[in-house]
Structure 1
């Protein structure tokens, strides 16, 4: 497969809507401003880090991430994860794709848990893999069926790729399911690639379980500053793995394809990580407030909409029960400058063809919801006539 053979569906849509008024799809947290980040760092008394930001050189950052940043990232994980188990990439997308390139080859088989972020699947395809999908279902509250994963395993299966917390549904895998998946993967000597970019955004922090990378040497975890911290502009993502032989392969891949990332971004990332309580606390308040608005709206309008209430992250997958398709609904919303992600973005199977993704992690969501409400109210009489007709 050529790198450009399959276009990234969301990017095609976003390129057409760069100045759209209502981004009702947005998944990353409220964008963090540099002045606010510096103020938080100042209040924390971290003057040396502020000085380092003003005095750093514009040379290359260390391949795989500077030690001080990797040490800071390691604090997000358990005692079995150190700086040596972390490879920093210029963003999560790069880490996701290069993991597949470094660890898979033509003739391998990969299992992709869907619906999912497109690049989870495209990276494995680009590496030459045969792909099987295991679909999550709202009938099971978007929980992974371990028996279905086991049934998809072949003699050449090398990789299981998943997204937890889950995008687009906002579901959260239970600790017991994680352990069952790890047991299955270890039995068949299969790597688990766990895209955990929404981790730390659990609606109830008590539901948070350890990262896959903490639980098994056969697991790799991905994260980034963009989702919990709203700091995607730092250009910092990372991969975590206990197996240092895998880390060495990823370090080599990072050096070949993405050696150059910003020391300024690294320092900003350390500021954000050290300010996590303040930054993520603020972002969770936005998510909690927005989620209440959405729950109230969908409860009142349950004749048209249905969803499984998200348990983590800032996205939800909503079923439209009206007389037009979810893709058509998204097109009509776009005419009103309201952008949601239709099922075509996720290449959904027929049973999910009436679902669309919304985002509720930003302070702009209430205005987007108001515009959405107005559109729905104007369409209701028309849809009622279509049903009667």
Structure 2
């Protein structure tokens, strides 16, 4: 199987460790284990004593029952543990859902800019992928007439990502309903990467999941972004029971189970989701104000203000390809962002605005310094 290089991951791997000002990260400022325990009011000594006595077996193959029960609470419509399968992170959830659904000759429609996995993986699996590009003038929301024109009678899957990486756009319930209606007309599935769900700027989980809206809706998510726990490598797929059964057949070949310790810590996080999300939304909304102010006073820089998540796609008005722009800036002063070319969106760069406040301020200052040199 031939597959394209994963541009954003290769860029991160190449430069991240040497970055002086890293505002390319997409998680809200990551939690330490001790911080998670403090949020949950769990005694550290007791926890680590219990951990020392934990026998490291495979654990519950589908994910523990308690964890899956907590995951079901994230959805607006009633779900059971039979609607959930636990995976190795959100990227594992996307892979499992698409690997289960897509084969050679299948017709797939993907909305972009987005996480490259969502269209490059179906292409590698042999599908014909038609892509719909969203535009800043439309708030990076897919235009329904354009989407309808791409969806054919034999379309098998529509792939979307909301809240969106890299744009920070959140589709809203009406748009999600319209996408579901377009899919339903031809019997297509809808796979929605919802890894930033919970970080809607007008209120956590204010928009229903595609798994709430549509019988053939498949939600993928994780504790990485909204819960600041990317190091746990714990994600999930939520869908109707029959599809989850199909996922198990494919999952057995590459996962077996997720780590017991990851499972236990993710359970603690989801049991305390309100506290973690309150902490994270405070960081996001304060930093968003800083970002908006910086854009407004920086020449030849503009953006569509995000309404969810942690990322923004910044436009620069300079005659320079985005990879060269970002590389020259990195070499100049160590400011690290992701070129728009990684999302097939030139003359832009993606930044993450949810690290510690001082990291964001210093990073934006470094970008401003570089801009004065070009």
1:280 paired with 2:277, answer yes
Normalised to the residue count of structure 2, the TM-score between the two structures is: 0.94
**Alpha-carbon distance in structure 2 between the residues aligned to 1:294 and 1:40:** 28
Question: For the residues of structure 2 that align with 1:56 and 1:122, how far apart are their CA atoms?
Answer: 40
Q: Does 1:345 align with 2:338?
A: no
Identify the range of structure 1 (88-97 vs 46-55) with the bigger mean alpha-carbon deviation: 46-55
Q: Of 340, 346, 353, which aligns to 1:360?
A: 353
In the alignment, what sits opposite 1:117? 115
Structure 2: tracts of 5 or more residues without a match: none
1:47 deviates by 11
Q: 1:373 aligns with which of 349, 368, 372?
A: 368
Deviation by residue 1:314-361 (Cα, 9 ceiling, x = unmatched)? 00011111243333321221112111111211123xxxx211111101
Instruction: Tell me by how many angstroms 1:196 deviates.
Output: 0.4
Name the CA shift for 1:271/1:47 in 2 (closer, same or farther; >3 Å).
farther
- Is structure 2 residue 36 aligned with structure 1 residue 37? yes
TM-score, normalization by structure 1? 0.90
Output the CA distance in 2 between the equivalents of 1:108 and 1:156.
8
Distance in structure 2 (CA, Å) of the matches to 1:61 and 1:280: 28
Q: Take 1:257 and 1:203, find their aligned partners in 2: how far apart are those partners? A: 36
Mapped to 2, the partners of 1:151 and 1:90 lie a distance apart of 35
Instruction: Provide the residue aligned with 1:386 in structure 2.
Output: none
Alpha carbons 1:164, 1:198 under 8 Å: kept = yes
Residues 78 and 47 of structure 1, relative CA distance in 2, 3 Å threshold: farther
Q: Give yes or no for the alignment of 1:308 onto 2:307.
A: no
Aligned to 1:257: 254
Describe the SS at the equivalent of 1:205. Answer: coil
Q: Does residue 321 in structure 1 map to residue 320 in structure 2?
A: no
Number of paired residues? 370
Equivalence for 2:96: 98
CA change 1:48–1:208 in 2 (3 A) is farther
- Any gaps of 5 or more consecutive residues in structure 1? 384-389
Give, in angstroms, the shift of residue 375 of structure 1. Answer: 2.2
Question: How do 1:162-181 residues align onto structure 2 when only pairs under 5 Å count?
Answer: 162-181=160-179
1:330 maps onto 2:326 in alignment: yes
Show the 5 A alignment for 1:188-227. 188-205=186-203, 208-227=206-225
Contact 1:95 1:238 in 2 (8 A): yes
Q: CA deviation at 1:80?
A: 2.2
* In structure 1, C-alpha distance between the alignment counterparts of 2:59 and 2:162, rounded to whole Å: 30
